[in-house]
């Protein structure tokens, strides 16, 4: 599922769907790796990038490992960062009162600053994607001072934080019961006696 040829097939049938005016879906941005490692990051980011550039409407894959057989919460928080980067990428580079550029450069050279200029501050938040704590962009010294954490360790910490900070859905109880009833009906239809969370 993480092979480039599979991703190419996904993008190709997406083109057919677009031609027919249909919404498209693909299992892409997932990995055949068995754990959150470099292969998982490579296959997932390649898939997410191709899916975004192709305009696939529904992407099933974030969090998945081992040929769609495993859902990893740690991979899911990493894939959230991959998706954030890809969304930023497809927005592209747009002029931001930058042209003509020479007056802007002259102003910055005269003031001998760039990062604190009004122009930079005005567009900083929309031009840059600021990743969460799963992504490490600190220098080596700071990384060591903060515990030399691996990607998997940072992702696990983020998962634990998200679980601890979880707030239940604000949907009315009647809506939750109706959704549960619908899911139970589908589960029974396919031979399941109970929904997975009930068996915990």
Give which of 97, 146, 93 is closest to 119, Cα–Cα.
97
Give me the pLDDT at residue 199, please. 42
Give the residue from 20, 128, 39 showing the smallest Cα distance to 78: 39
Across residues 121-127, what is the average pLDDT?
87
pTM flag (> 0.85): no
Three-state SS at 110: helix
Position 113 scores a pLDDT of 76
Residue 89 near residue 73, CB atoms below 8 Å:
no
C-beta of residue 51 within 8 angstroms of C-beta of residue 26: yes
pLDDT the model gives residue 97: 79
pLDDT at 19 over 80: yes
What is the average pLDDT score of the chain? 92
Tens-place pLDDT, residues 50-89: 999 999 999 999 999 999 889 999 999 999 999 999 999 9
Domain ranges across the chain? 4-91
The alpha-helical segments, DSSP class H, found in 24-139 are 38-54, 73-91, 102-111, 118-127
Which range has the worst mean pLDDT, 14-28, 112-126, 184-198? 112-126
pLDDT tens figures, 136-156: 999 999 999 999 999 999 999
Residue 200 pLDDT: 47
Query: What pLDDT sits at residue 196?
Result: 80
pLDDT for res 76: 97
> Which are the contacts of 100, defined by CB distance < 8 A and separation ≥ 6?
none
CB-count burial class (<10 Å; 0-12, 13-18, 19+) for 34: middle
Q: Of 33, 26, 31, give the one whose Cα is nearest residue 8.
A: 26
């Amino acid at each position: 599922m993480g092979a480039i040829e599979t991703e190419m097939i996904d993008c190709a049938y997406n083109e057919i769907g677009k031609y027919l005016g249909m919404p498209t879906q693909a299992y892409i941005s997932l990995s055949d790796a068995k754990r959150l490692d470099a292969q998982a990051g490579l296959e997932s980011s390649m898939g997410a990038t191709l899916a975004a550039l192709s305009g696939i409407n529904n992407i099933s894959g974030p969090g998945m490992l081992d040929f769609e057989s495993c859902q990893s919460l740690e991979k899911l928080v990493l894939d959230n960062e991959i998706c954030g980067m890809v969304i930023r990428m497809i927005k592209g580079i747009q002029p931001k009162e930058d042209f003509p550029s020479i007056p802007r450069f002259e102003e910055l050279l005269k003031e001998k600053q760039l990062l604190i200029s009004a122009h930079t501050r005005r567009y900083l938040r929309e031009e840059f994607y600021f990743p969460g704590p799963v992504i490490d962009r600190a220098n080596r010294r700071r990384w060591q001072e903060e515990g030399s954490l691996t990607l998997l360790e940072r992702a696990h910490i983020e998962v634990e934080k998200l679980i601890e900070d979880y707030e239940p859905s604000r949907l009315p109880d009647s809506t939750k019961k109706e959704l549960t009833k619908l899911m139970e009906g589908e589960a029974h239809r396919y031979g399941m006696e109970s929904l997975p969370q009930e068996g915990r």
